[in-house]
Structure 1
Amino acid sequence: MSAEESAGPLLNWGVKRSFLDYILAVGGSCDTDGALFRAGRILFPPAQNRKCPRGRTDVVRHVGSVRMRAHGGLIDLTLADPAVAATADGVTLSVVARGPGMQGAEQRVVVALLGCSPGGLLDAMRSGRSLSSTLLSSGSWIFDHRYPVGIELAPVRWSATA
């Protein structure tokens, strides 16, 4: 199911606005598969099996990918299948990442801490409220450590339509 055909809330995330602006300014590309790239944001549809057992909302999974490339492949980063998890430590955003130096391997990386309490995640999803996202040390390598830990990334929100 593509983001345009989605029957559930789309995860909207602009990664890091200056990063995407740079990719596009130098003639690079942001290609999607199963997601949409619109107005500097990537829209990821919900995973088909998005229902958590017994009504749990502690992990919300989405599907699709965006591949950001520039400088003839020197910058080549794919982010896929984002998941938002509510834990005792807060709400985090993780993605499956693939990039240079990974020799084609993929791994799930916790990229950001979201500005939401674990108990407020469901309300944020229903209301479409934007949540701040802050880069974690575990995710800084996807930007080749060019952004400091704790820097603000693009906000995350959910919307009903593309």
Structure 2
Amino acid sequence: MQSIEFFTYTSAFLWGIRVDGADLRVHAADATRALWRQEQSHDERTPEDTEHFLLNQYAGLTGSDLRDPVSHFLGEAAPELRHTPTGATVVLGCPCGIWECWPLYTRITATAETVTWSAFRQPHRPAWGDLALGPFVFPRPDYEEALTNAAHFAEDSLTALPPAGTPDVG
């Protein structure tokens, strides 16, 4: 089973997530790197620019978008925060502040013992299908503890990430 941490960051109180100590945005970057490479085969970006793009393609969701983070992250999101065709829940949004621009969805399945995140999708890229991300299975007691005791950080931990290829310490 995996471990999860929930936290908020910046004055906007964006909800961030770490799975096994790494920001979910890092996991998403790893899962989409080859897919973006195929789309941008003639792109003139430097490797550093590409990495910056990948790590910043998503941002946390605002507390006002979530309304009830506990219900949301237990798979009981408000209808507007769900992907109607799949029933998946949005877990990351667009860095522009309008989460719908570039959402990352996952199916959240909660049982008495576990919470599972599976079938991650980017709906604006249907050809990508399910991303090579997860499934992540968390012990429900630990998950709920992390969710109800989310820390707050003044800045986004990704702004201080070490160079690619080194562990996330943020």
TM over 0.5: no
Report the TM-score range of the alignment, normalised by the length of the smaller protein: 0.3 to 0.5
Which structure's residues are more often strand, by fraction? 1
Which structure's residues are more often helix, by fraction? 2
